């Protein structure tokens, strides 16, 4: 069951994620970068994987989330998979990167690379 709340942004950010997005925006050195794009793609043993990339424009049908001083563009094909998610940033000795706390995930592969949402039929084994 997807966690949809009308009027609520499809994704929220922790303070750590917002700080990291701002740092990445500063590092980009490209005045055309408007924010970051968040989406999912088919990948890994569980079927789906998150991606984050620089966004220089708002594409057709993209949701735009403005929170904590940053702008995220949500790829329209990803919205149904990330509704209600929280984007966080974590850093330790072995890993640094964005982490998604997604209430819609029903399974995740052992390495954490990919995930499955509900009965979408995307899981490959």
The model's pTM: 0.77
Q: Which CATH architecture group holds 11-117?
A: Sandwich (2.60)
Tell me the pLDDT tens digit for each residue of 20-55.
Answer: 999 999 888 888 999 999 998 886 555 788 899 999
Cβ–Cβ < 8 Å for 12, 84: no
Confidence band for 123, pLDDT divided at 50, 70 and 90: very low
Average pLDDT, the chain: 82
Q: What percent of the chain has pLDDT over 90?
A: 44
Task: Determine the pLDDT at residue 86.
Answer: 94
Cβ–Cβ < 8 Å for 90, 14: no
Task: Determine the pLDDT at residue 112.
Answer: 55
Tell me the pLDDT tens digit for each residue of 48-104.
Answer: 888 999 999 999 999 999 999 999 999 999 888 888 899 999 998 988 889 898 887
Name beta bridge partners: 11: 85
State the Cα–Cα distance between residues 34 and 42, nearest whole angstrom: 26
């Amino acid at each position: 069951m997807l966690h949809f709340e009308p009027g609520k942004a499809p994704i929220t950010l922790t303070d750590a994620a917002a700080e990291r997005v701002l740092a990445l925006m500063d590092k980009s050195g490209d005045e055309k970068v408007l924010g970051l794009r968040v989406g999912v793609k088919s990948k890994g043993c569980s079927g789906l994987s998150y991606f984050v990339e620089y966004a220089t424009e708002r594409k057709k049908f993209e949701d735009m989330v403005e929170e904590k001083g940053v702008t995220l563009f949500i790829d329209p094909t990803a919205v149904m998979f990330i509704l209600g998610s929280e984007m966080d940033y974590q850093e330790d000795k072995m890993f640094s990167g964005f982490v998604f706390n997604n209430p819609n995930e029903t399974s995740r592969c052992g390495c954490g690379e990919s995930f499955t949402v509900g009965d979408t039929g995307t899981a490959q084994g």
